[in-house]
Amino acid sequence: MNLARFSSRVAIFAALALTGPVTTATPPAGSDPLPQDAPRVIGAALTSTGAYDKLTYLCDRIGHRLSGSTGLERAVAWTAERMEQEGVPKVWTDPVEVPHWVRGDVEEVAMVVPREQRMAVTSLGGSVPTPAEGLEAEVVIAHDFDELDALGESVRGKIVLFHKPIESGWGSPNGYGSGAGLRVRGPSRAAALGAVGMLIRSLGTADYRLPHTGALRYDDTQPKIPAAAIAAEDSDQIHRLIDAGETVRVRMNMNNRILPDAISHNVLGEIPGRERPDEVVLIGAHLDSWDVGCGAHDDGAGVVAVMETLRILAAMDRAPRRTIRGVLFTNEENGLRGGTAYAERYADVVHVSAAEMDSGAFPPVGYGVSGGDGAVEFLEPILAPLAVIGADTVFDRGGGADIGPLRKYGTPMLAHRVDVEDYFDYHHTAADTLDKVDPRELQKNVASMAWVAWALAESEGTLPRLPPPDEAAGD
């Protein structure tokens, strides 16, 4: 987008936003969002530093927010208190039992044959520790589960390295999604063949010896073996050596701890609807983060976008027609307990839509939507005012991990979409820090979320609902 044109449009929106209410009359029942609502909502977001101010506090004063940590519960208390201070009419927390895994202070992987070399490593979330003395074994490589299965008995007593380079962007055959299953299920698949440990090439797109953590899921029918991610460069080197006919042995030493489940909380803020309060427009993000950075993009940006959206919309000259509910979900990263608990607790609530922001504060491009027939067409005019920030594209298919459990009730699913070219440079790494977030892009993300929430809450009609699960098997 032409920068001068963008600046001019922002100035117009800002002027409209700062002139006070265009009308003080309550719109007649049955009317759609008034034309002046878009510049007021979008302009308010584009002229506020509120989201970045909150993100600064979250990152600098609280830090990482892994499930079970004091940081997460400090974030629960702070976000709830801040929303109340900023005028959100109704704020509360719901308890959720979450897993409690603690990264140890020993986290080492080193090649010992054909030469000694320490590697950049991070334990996978939920990994068991190695034996106290560590473990040492030969490495075998697999690029996918088919290659692993083909290795058969040759895996026994060895360490499996899943070596799969990752490309940028969503939808790529070699994107993040193509490798996440290796991380999640790889340890148990390797253990089933007798492996004593598992390594995975970092599922990231910035090769700066920056390993990415992430959750694994053990199969209780198999032995639990220690698992870690190593930097792309180290994995590439092992791959070259084995391709050249060398035997490679590595030593692993990690002292992670798996503790009893802990109590955490979902944080909820709500603007009750003036006409249809029992119909809920949900916007959400996850409050927890991995412990290696401060979760600035993943998902601190989403958290503060939800908070700022509620602040802006609570300050409008009238309440929305429907209820707008913001949910900061706990335990998305290593359990999804917050999203599951929310869906169970509020199964009787009529959610007319659910939107999730969990791809960082990169340039917004639009929304993906999953709903009944006509969902895309319904959303297109709603997104049209977001052309000013380049966020007016409607994509077929939407959703998110935390709102996913609501899908079985027919809730239309929205995914807040951004340009993710750089997202996996930082995702799940020690580099996911405040300095990676552009305040201007964060403002645009808030503008996108705030307008869509307001428009969906004010529209006379609602998104077509998803069909029952047995009818949506191919969705």
- Among residues 361, 303, 364, the alpha carbon closest in space to that of 42 is found at 364
Beta-carbon contacts of 11 under 8 Å, excluding residues fewer than 6 positions away, are none
Active site residues: 332
Whether the CB-CB separation of 254 and 108 falls below 8 Å is answered with yes
Which amino acid type is present at position 297? H
Question: What Å distances lie between residue 25 and 21, 22, 29, CA to CA?
Answer: 10, 9, 12
Tell me the helices (H) and strands (E) count for the chain, helix number first.
Answer: 12, 16
Structure tokens at 211: 């390993």
154 with 195: CB under 8 angstroms?
Answer: no
C-alpha to C-alpha distance for 383 and 447, rounded to whole angstroms: 11
Q: Where are the beta strands (DSSP E) in 384-435?
A: 393-396, 413-418
Closest CA to 140 of 254, 253, 250: 250
CA atoms of 93 and 354, how far apart (whole Å): 19
Q: Which residues pair with 265 in a beta bridge?
A: 95
R_g over Cα of the chain: 24
Spatial distance between the Cα atoms of 366 and 448, rounded to a whole number of angstroms: 8
Quote the CA–CA distance of 218 and 223 in Å, as a whole number: 8
Please state, in angstroms and rounded to a whole number, the distance separating the CA atoms of residues 386 and 364.
Answer: 10
